[in-house]
Structure 1
C-alpha cells in the first residue's frame, strides 16, 4: 500500500485520477488508519485533503455511485474530518432505494452511523431495514461482496442484535462468514476488491471498527524495546439458557499479562465482546459475558476451561496464557 501510494504520488502529486477518486484513495486512507499511520501526514502528503478534493473533482461520478460516495465519507469520518450536510443528503436521496443493492445500503448505513447526525436517523434506519430484508433463505445476502458488507453491518450491531434475542441474525452472521471463507478457498487468486470486503468480515470486524483500538506511542527519541504481543483464543459457550450461544474471538495479549487482561483487551478492542466481573478474595470473578449474567440464585457461574478442555486450577486473574492457548468460558450450573 505505502509503496503503491509513493509511486502514484511521484507521478501525480494531487491523485486526481479517476481510479483514486472512485474508492481506491478512500480504502488506502482507511488502511492507514487501521495500521496506525496518519493519512494526514504521509511522507508530507495530506491524503485526507486530497480525498476531500475528490468530493469536488469527482462529484459527477459520485452522484451516480453512492457506494463510492459513502466510502469516501466513511474514510473522512474515521480521519476525524467534517463535511457539508449536502454530502450526507447526496448519499441517500431516496431512502430505501439503492442502485447497487445491499452493497450500497451497507456503506450508506455505515456512513450515517459513523457521522452520528440524528437528522439522518430515518435514512440510516431505511438502509438498516433494507439490508435485513435482503437476506436469502440460505442466510447469505447475495454474492460474496454483498454478503461481506452485510455481515460487517451485522457484526457492528452484534451487541444490539444479541440483546434483542434474535437468533436468526446471529446464525446468518455465522453462515455468511462460512460462505465467504469457502469463496476465498475456491478462488486460487481472489480479486483485491473481494478481499477488501471479505477479510474484515471474516475477522469479525467492520469499517466502523477502524480507529477504535489504541495505537502504540510514536514519541521520537524513545528506544524502549516493545513487549512481545501475541493472540489467544477466547470462546464463550452457553447451551443452558435460551441464548444458546457459541462464539470465538482472538484476544491480544502481552507477555506477562493474565487471562483477565486478555478479556479487558478484547473488551477494549472488539465491540462484539463485553464482560463484567467483581473483586473477591481469590481475584476477579467473571459475572457476565455479552449480557449473559450468571445468577448465584440459579446456581450459575462461568466455568473456565483451558486448552486441554479441563477446568483451570486458578481464576482468570491468576492465569498467565502463552501464545496459541485457547480458553473456553462455559456458562455452567453447579
Structure 2
C-alpha cells in the first residue's frame, strides 16, 4: 500500500525534483523487497499480502515485474478456487488484480459514466455456516501458552477460528473477547487477560486467516 501511495504522489507531478528523487529510491526499495519475497508457490509474502503486492507491480509497469505478476496471479486464482478470499476487505484488494487494474486506476474513472450504469448485485448468498455444519466434524487442539489451557475441541469441518473459540467458551473454562474491524474480528482478550495475541496453527507457523 505504501508503494502505491508513493507512485500516486510521484505521478502527480506536484512535488519538487529533490522529493521525487527520494520517492523513486523508496519505490525501488519496495519493488526489490516484493520481488525477493516471492516463494516457489508464486505468492508475494503470503496469499493475503499478494493482491496489494501485485497491484504495486502492475502500477509500476516494466518487464521485470511481468513474470512475478503472472506467477502471483496464478497463485491468487488457485486461492480463489479454494475459497480463501471470503473477507470483503481482502476481496476489495483482489478484484482489481483480476481485471489487471490497481487502485491508481481510480484517478481516471469518469464518475458520471459509472453512475449511469446499473449494478448487478446478487440478492441471495449461500449459508456457509449451514454448509460447514453438514460436513464431518473435526477435532482441533486449542492451546493457550502460559495460561495452562489445553483442550481438544470438536467442530464442523471448515470451521473458522472464531467458531472454535466460541465452542471452547461454551463448553469449558475458557473466555475471550474480540474487537470488530474491516478485516474481521480481532482477538483482544483471553481468559480475562487483555493484550496482543499471536495466533499459531503449529509451534512456529503463524495462522494467516481464521480457518482450521
Give the alignment's TM-score, normalised by structure 2: 0.44
Give the alignment's TM-score, normalised by structure 1: 0.29
